[in-house]
A and B are shown apart, each in its own frame.
Chain A
Amino acid sequence: MADINTINKDFADLFNQGNELLLEGSSDVMNETRKNAFQDFSKLGVPTRANENYKYTNLIPAFDHPYNVNLKYQNVDVDLNEIFQCDVPELDTNMVLLTNGWYYGNNKELTELPKGVIVCGVQEAAEKYPEIFNAHYGKYAKTDEDGIVALNTSLAKDGFFIYVPKGVVIEKPIQVVNLLRSDRDLMATQRNLIVVEENAQAKIIVCDHTLTHHKYLTNSVTEVNVARNAIFDLYTLQNQHLNSVILNSTYIRQESNSNVLSNTISLYGGTIRNNHHVILDEEHCENNTFGMYLMDRDQHVDNFTSIDHAKPNCLSNEHFKGVMDDQASGAFAGRIFVRRDAQQTQAYQSNNNLLLSNDAVINTKPQLVIDADDVKCSHGATVGQMDEDALFYLRARGIDEKEARQMLMFAFAHEIIEKIRVEPLKERIDELVDKRLRGEISKCNTCAIACNH
């Protein structure tokens, strides 16, 4: 097994030898950001378990593998629009595709978007809309704090860009589907930017799907800025195969009176690490950060979150729930910072876990750092088995044990699903989770939302 120094050196070689390809097609701002990020990466490297923030997730086995890396867009030999169709009739979305983290060159034009809304690739955005792009790109993701984020920024070439102008309300959700499709094991770097302007509203659904059985490592970073009075939802659905590694870092900055809801649902994946950072940078923001993970076999999930109350009078609700079976392992870390002047902060956090086997493991760690004195904060974490009294109650009414367990697990998970603010998506996720808990989805090569088997 390679040690961490070899892994880091391989990335340094990739960066230096591939430098020409990395710079090609990227804007000056991207390349300047890249250069600085690589300096950070050189110091930080891929995080190991010696790093307190990565104590429960060992990334060395994930990185210790000969992946193929694409430093430029690879033409796709088939029409992905044909291969991939989201056929949930009720879920009417504006859908765009990504291929291995790159904005797909043959996306259908989104004809129903309101005027001024931009949905395109990051490379294209950097070139065509520099004023918007340069104001936000690299401004929120902290390359000096996390080696994974520094690595992403060093290698970032493309991803999706979404811009919602001032006052524009997008009724239909925008659905971004990243298709992993390769004939070799692949590491994909994806870099996304979402800018929601003042008083605008948008809902975005992001899904990942593996179309072939190869081993994939996806390292994605999404930066989001939500301006004053804007309302923004981000739903992330993770459904890859057991041989995949998902590293997903999201940085959300909120301005005054904005309202953000994110819901990260991990249904399947070999190793999943979600970094979720929120900064409430102006007053009267509301943030809702939800997540759910359903893990079995040898799957691993780690949700690392931080909610930074930088200004007074903001509200944050954070709730993650997980069901762990077999030898699955997981971690949750929830940091809440309340800065010195952030009076009248309300910050609530909880993490509840259901362990279905003796071998499943969860490490949960709430962490509140409060420097203001007039605040309302709470946190709580639970780890438990199925409630035997509730199980007996259901059985005593004639419901067989398997179904009773199913009902209880589903009820447990539903608390997170019901927070979804897109009705057809909520119903679909309900069905998916029901199937997933029944063991009926083992791996799905089509869109999990659309999958009917």
Chain B
Amino acid sequence: MLSIKNLHVSIEGKDILKGINLDVKPGEVHAIMGPNGAGKSTLASVLAGRDLYNVTEGEVIFQGKDLLDMEPEDRAKEGIFLGFQYPIEIPGVSTVNFMKTAVNEHRKYKGLDPLSASDFLKLMREKKSLVEIDSKLTNRSVNEGFSGGEKKKNEIFQMAMLEPKLAVLDETDSGLDIDALRVVANGVNKLKTRDNATIVITHYQRLLDYIVPDVVHVLYNGRIVKTAGKELALELEEKGYDWIKEENGK
């Protein structure tokens, strides 16, 4: 589904990613862990198409297409979803209007007619209950005045609405209390199918108690330095990142 080969990325002349290789297959959950500043969020942003970064080398193929050649909106319509670490507040844009526009853009891309108002509201209701998000939140402007937990729930709600093939969740657990974490993780698990895949980016192992990964990668200093099964996450939790740093000659 996703194949990243030798990806090098810099920002303002500074190298952040220094040769990432990653393969994700349908149905898989990958966790990318690593200390602060390792390049985790950069990887997520580059996949979603943020233009602050320069890709200097390498390729990203998503379902047979060159992902790096696409605008962010086309990546989204191809099935990439970025769950933002810091979801943006957009005063004046209602969540309903935002989601309706987005859903219909996706439908147009697939050659489908836009949803009628009633079908759209029905879809909203369904997805809201799936991710346990309060109606009060979707009636407001996008993320405006939301708490950290509400913002993250709203990301999962949007993911549910758009049904991506590959979701990249960037530090979705940061700043979440245990109840919100459970809600977010349940949402992700419910949305999981044999055909879609998830990349969970996290600093801590805690989220992985709820979203069980098939593969865990450790990203350090712009490279994936370790790849193993879910037990790696526990090891990191126990031992921290220092041994990784030492192994890789910090």
Contact = CB atoms under 8 A, between A and B. Distances in A.
Contacts, number: 73
A412 B91 CA distance: 8
Contacts of A390: 88, 90
Interface in A393-410: 393-401, 403-404, 407-408, 410
Contact of A395 (B72, B84, B92, B93): B72
B105 A400 contact: yes
A390 to B, nearest CB: 5
B93 A392 contact: no
Interface in B150-191: 158, 162
Contacts of A400: 71, 73, 105
A412 B141 CA distance: 12
A389 interface: yes
A411 B93 CA distance: 5
A35 interface: no
Contacts of B92: 410-412, 414-415
A408 B93 contact: yes
B82 interface: yes
B90 A392 contact: no
Which of B77, B92, B105 is the most central at the interface, judged by chain A CB atoms within 10 Å of its CB?
B92
A394 B158 contact: no
A393 B142 CA distance: 10
Given A408-B93, A411-B91, A412-B92, A398 B84 contact: no
Contacts of A398: 73, 76-77, 102, 105-106, 109, 162
Interface residues of A, number: 22
A387 B73 CA distance: 17
A395 B71 contact: yes
B206 interface: no
A410 B91 CA distance: 11
Interface residues of B, number: 29
Given A390-B90, A411-B93, A415-B91, A396 B48 contact: yes
A208 to B, nearest CB: 27
Which of B88, B97, B109 is the most central at the interface, judged by chain A CB atoms within 10 Å of its CB?
B88
B87 interface: yes
A257 to B, nearest CB: 32
A415 B90 CA distance: 12
Contact of B101 (A389, A396, A399, A401): A399
A392 B51 CA distance: 9
Which of B82, B90, B158 is the most central at the interface, judged by chain A CB atoms within 10 Å of its CB?
B90
B76 A396 contact: yes
Contacts of B87: 393
B49 interface: yes
Interface string B75-116: 111000110100110111100011001100110010000000
Contacts of B162: 397-398
Given A393-B87, A411-B91, A399 B48 contact: no
Given A401-B71, A407-B101, A411-B90, A395 B77 contact: no
19 contacts: A390-B90, A392-B50, A395-B49, A395-B76, A396-B49, A396-B73, A397-B76, A397-B102, A398-B73, A398-B76, A398-B77, A398-B105, A398-B109, A399-B98, A401-B71, A401-B73, A407-B97, A408-B90, A408-B93
Give the 9 A-B CB pairs with smallest separation, nearest first: A411-B92, A398-B76, A395-B72, A393-B88, A397-B102, A411-B93, A398-B105, A395-B73, A398-B77
